Amino acid sequence: MVFRKCPFVLAAFLVIVLIVQPVLSATTVTSENAENDAALGLFNSAEVLVSNGDYENAIRLFDRSLASNTTMLKKTDAILYLYRDKGYSLIKLERFPDAIATLDEGLAAYPNDAMLWNNKGYALKSLGKTQEALAAYDKSIGFDRNYTNAYINRGDLLSQMGRYTEAADAYTRANETDPFNVAASYGLVAARKGEAGSTGTMTALLAILVIVAAGIVVWYVKYRRPAGSAPEEKRSKSKSKKK
């Protein structure tokens, strides 16, 4: 009797295993999804705050999102937008070193992203690191030849450096990528004025140098006596006295 009951016991055990195992699996998956959804939910809430200009709280939510399971964020590339917008928020709060650190984290994962390079350039420029900023803008444009804002930012920096011809070229390219961009048009006009003023200044300086040089030559020819002439005069006078 005991042996006859064994098949029924085994069958019952298998049924229980088949029922319980899927339930356990489903519970595990649901738990993982909940954690992923938490990171994604925090990211989405932070994006709303950025659009409303609440950068401080947006950064807090971005950090909480990064501290969560970012598997889903990475699958959808939302992690890229997180680094972009967290960096942007830090720039808006003028926390430029923190912005650069965040953007560098993003660039470690997305080294060819034009927006990350552009925003890093802006943060560097704000810290007075003009050459590094210019290199970052060049990187941005190198990865996206039609990135209007990068051209405008590059033009602004070059204008500040007094390199008006290069600035005008950057604004011209920005106008080509976006013909109705007001910042690009205004920047181009300002760069052309700076270029003209710089040329006029150089011309005036050259003219002054020529006048000064001519005056020195005239003064030398008219008033400068050859060395040794005075002693000769004295000798001549002394000889005439002896006679």
What distance in Å separates the CA atoms of residue 58 and residue 78, rounded to the nearest whole number? 15
Q: Which two tokens stand for residue 190?
A: 């300002």
Task: Kindly report which listed range (4-8, 47-51, 72-76) carries the lowest average pLDDT score.
Answer: 4-8
What distance in Å separates the CA atoms of residue 135 and residue 129, rounded to the nearest whole number? 10
64 part of a folded domain: yes
Q: What is the DSSP string of the chain?
A: -HHHHHHHHHHHHHHHHHHHHHHHHHHHHHHHHHHHHHHHHHHHHHHHHHHTT-HHHHHHHHHHHHHS--HHHHHHTHHHHHHHHHHHHHHHTT-HHHHHHHHHHHHHH-TT-HHHHHHHHHHHHHTT-HHHHHHHHHHHHHH-TT-HHHHHHHHHHHHHTT-HHHHHHHHHHHHHH-TT-HHHHHHHHHHHHHHHHHHHHHHHHHHHHHHHHHHHHHHHHHHPPPTTHHHHHHHHHHHHHH-
Expressed as residue numbers, the domain containing 167 is: 145-221
Q: Are residues 151 and 105 part of one domain?
A: no
pLDDT digits (tens, 9 = 90+) for 1-48: 444 555 554 555 444 434 434 333 333 333 445 455 899 999 999 999
Q: Look at residues 60, 91, 113 and tell me which one is the last residue of a structural domain.
A: 113
Q: Which two tokens stand for residue 222?
A: 């008219």
Q: Are residues 158 and 108 part of one domain?
A: no
196 part of a folded domain: yes
* CATH code of the domain containing 204: 1.25.40.10
pLDDT digits (tens, 9 = 90+) for 209-230: 444 455 454 445 455 544 444 4
pLDDT digits (tens, 9 = 90+) for 89-145: 999 999 999 999 999 999 999 999 999 999 999 999 999 999 999 999 999 999 999
189 part of a folded domain: yes
* pTM for the structure as a whole: 0.69
Task: Indicate the number of domains in the chain.
Answer: 2
What distance in Å separates the CA atoms of residue 135 and residue 145, rounded to the nearest whole number? 15
What distance in Å separates the CA atoms of residue 195 and residue 54, rounded to the nearest whole number? 40
Q: Are residues 107 and 150 part of one domain?
A: no
192 part of a folded domain: yes
